[in-house]
Chains A and B, each alone.
Chain A
Amino acid sequence: AQSVAQPEDQVNVAEGNPLTVKCTYSVSGNPYLFWYVQYPNRGLQFLLKYITGDNLVKGSYGFEAEFNKSQTSFHLKKPSALVSDSALYFCAVRDINGGFKTIFGAGTRLFVKA
């Protein structure tokens, strides 16, 4: 069965420092991986996705993510954090063997301190 794990409930980082939000997954087939961000009182917004090809994926707002097949990970990164990046981040996975269902992780709250 598909599953997604976000091992950290919260990540704290100082503004200007690099940030990493971790995600690991488990699927039986080839994974399709997504990151979404949720700001207070708003729906989820798509950030980036990995389908195939280059393991480093670039997305919105300067975020990027690295797909690592051997470690079954898809960590979200940004070279220099902004206070406005503070939000709730969700990793999600789909695979053909799981039908068309998207499985979301529990979320990681990112807090960027000025």
Chain B
Amino acid sequence: EAGVAQSPRYKIIEKRQSVAFWCNPISGHATLYWYQQILGQGPKLLIQFQNNGVVDDSQLPKDRFSAERLKGVDSTLKIQPAKLEDSAVYLCASSPGTSGSISNEQFFGPGTRLTVL
């Protein structure tokens, strides 16, 4: 079974530039998550999708971050414009079943390491 795919693996940009990350979840997984992991901290949920609908985006900085999951499969996360404090690893994860399946574990991709200069 193929895992969660993410690209790119690394990205270096200057502040005020824009950047986009792509995620392809495990086939058949209805729920998709984007996390931000700052060095020395645990992952923080940015947005959670159930198929192509948003379940939770309460911690997404909506003035600069956006995400979509067209057709309920792969997803993109965009930052525009980037700030220095956005330097982090962006993790994508997926899980089977619905968001109501609170007991399901998540399957994580390798992450995208973003450096904002």
* Least Cβ–Cβ distance between B86 and chain A, in angstroms: 19
Selected from A42, A46, A105, A106, the residue in CB contact (under 8 A) with B106 is A46
Q: Are A100 and B43 in contact (CB under 8 A)?
A: no
Q: Is B25 an interface residue (CB 8 A)?
A: no
Chain A residues near B105 (CB-CB < 8 A): 34, 46, 49
In the complex formed, the residue of B with least CB distance to A98 is: B102
Q: Is B67 an interface residue (CB 8 A)?
A: no
Q: Is A90 an interface residue (CB 8 A)?
A: yes
Q: Bin the interface of chain A by size.
A: 20 to 34
Interface string of B83-100 (1 = CB under 8 A from A): 000000001010000011
User: With the chains together, A36 CA to B85 CA distance in Å?
Assistant: 25
Selected from B58, B106, B107, the residue in CB contact (under 8 A) with A102 is B106
Q: Is B72 an interface residue (CB 8 A)?
A: no
Q: Are A105 and B91 in contact (CB under 8 A)?
A: no
Q: Are B110 and A42 in contact (CB under 8 A)?
A: yes
Q: Are A44 and B43 in contact (CB under 8 A)?
A: yes
Q: A100-B48, A106-B41 are in contact. Are A51 and B103 (CB under 8 A)?
A: yes
Please give me the 10 A-B residue pairs with the lowest Cβ-Cβ distance, nearest first: A104-B42, A43-B108, A46-B105, A44-B108, A100-B99, A51-B103, A43-B110, A104-B43, A106-B42, A43-B109
Chain B residues packing against A (C-beta within 8 Å): 4, 33, 40-45, 48, 55-56, 58, 91, 93, 99-100, 102-103, 105-111
